[in-house]
Amino acid sequence: MRLQEYGVGLFKSALTKSALKKALKKKYITVNDHIATSATFINGGERITLAIPKDVSPTKTLIFPLTVIFEDDYLAAIHKPAGILVSGNTFKTIGKALAQNIMRSTLFDATRPQPVHRLDFATTGILLAGKTSASIRALNQLFEAKTINKTYYAVTIGHMDTEGKITSNIDDKPSQSHYKVLSSVDSKRFGQLNLVQLNPLSGRRHQLRKHLFSINHPILGDKTYGISDLILNGKGLYLHAYSLSFKHPFTKETLYLKDDFPERFKKLFPSKIAEIMANDTSHL
């Protein structure tokens, strides 16, 4: 199999698929003393080495409290606030703040916790992280196999059909999202605002935002995929990753993890959101 598939979770300094790709691109990985690439195949018995040049230690330490929704020895779920990247080459990211907010695993392959999926900079909601090398690899596999059910809520603009499926391609790749309008209110500026439940059936970048824009019902507060004269400034993006449901890859327990609605959602749809929360009796 390809090294870039086999090697996910193999090294503490390149635990995720994206981190492994970066290491390959920077020529940090060798196989039997030969520089590896994304085209390198592994047959078994090879010696795989990761060598990262030493950098000067940063003088600043990130201090960023996070709300922990769930954790055990294998994984953790946290609330991602708006206005912060999940990962990247910037000082302030969720990835860099995880270690100070969740407990270190007691298992033999414990490692620095790593996010195993992404949420946009402006999106709020539940984010999953792995705490061991094996769990990071297993959770990545669950996402790739699409066996983790994700539910989002958004506030959209305009009169929409009650329910529908959007199947437009994103970056020339097939993508699919299901939406259901749960409640609507009249608005002088926007005509109508809708509380919409969203279930992405694929995982493309900015998928929900692009899909809703493609049917002329952009998400409220979306400055990138919005209608120019209907841009809402100063309130943030009304897109929230509400829940994740999946079978725990190690304990085999079915987990249903959820993150409460932001206050700005509750102000627009107080009774409907209260109803959703009352009926959502699932727990960890």
Q: Which of 36, 222, 266, 25 is nearest to 120 (CA)?
A: 222
Start and end residues for every CATH 3.30.2350.10 domain found in the chain = 150-239
Tally Cβ neighbours within 10 Å of residue 156: 26
Among 162, 168, 157, CA closest to 210: 168
Active-site hit among 72, 120, 171, 172 = 120
CB 15 within 8 A of CB 111: yes
Distance between CA atoms of residues 223 and 276, nearest Å: 28
178-224 pLDDT tens trace: 999 999 999 999 999 999 999 999 989 999 999 999 999 999 999 99
Residues forming CATH 3.10.290 domain(s) in the chain:
3-50
Contact 232, 263 (CB under 8 A): no
SS3 state of residue 123: coil
φ/ψ region of 75 (left if φ > 0, alpha if ψ in -120 to 50, else beta) reads beta
Element (H, E) at 211: helix 207-214
pLDDT the model gives residue 128: 98
Q: Which amino acid is at 143?
A: F
Q: What would the pLDDT profile of 248-268 be if each residue is shown by its tens digit? A: 999 999 999 999 999 999 999
Q: For 3-50, CATH number?
A: 3.10.290
Residue 101 CA from chain centroid, whole number: 18
What pLDDT is recorded for position 58?
Answer: 55
CB-count exposure of residue 92 (10 Å: 0-12, 13-18, 19+): middle
The pLDDT tens digits for 83-94 are: 999 998 889 999
CATH 3.30.70.580 intervals, the chain: 67-145
109 is catalytic: no
Angle (CA) 47-49-51 rounded to 5° is 165
3-state secondary structure of 202: coil
What are the backbone dihedrals phi and psi of residue 23, each rounded to the nearest 5 degrees, phi first? -65, -40
pLDDT-derived band of residue 157, with 50, 70 and 90 as boundaries?
very high
The CATH code for residues 150-239 is: 3.30.2350.10
> 9-68 pLDDT, tens per residue?
888 778 788 888 888 888 888 988 888 888 899 888 888 988 877 664 555 778 899 999
Cα separation of 200 and 178, whole Å? 6
* CATH of segment(s) 67-145: 3.30.70.580
Alpha carbons within 13 angstroms on the beta-carbon side of residue 211 total 26
> What are residue 226's phi and psi, to 5 degrees?
-135, 170
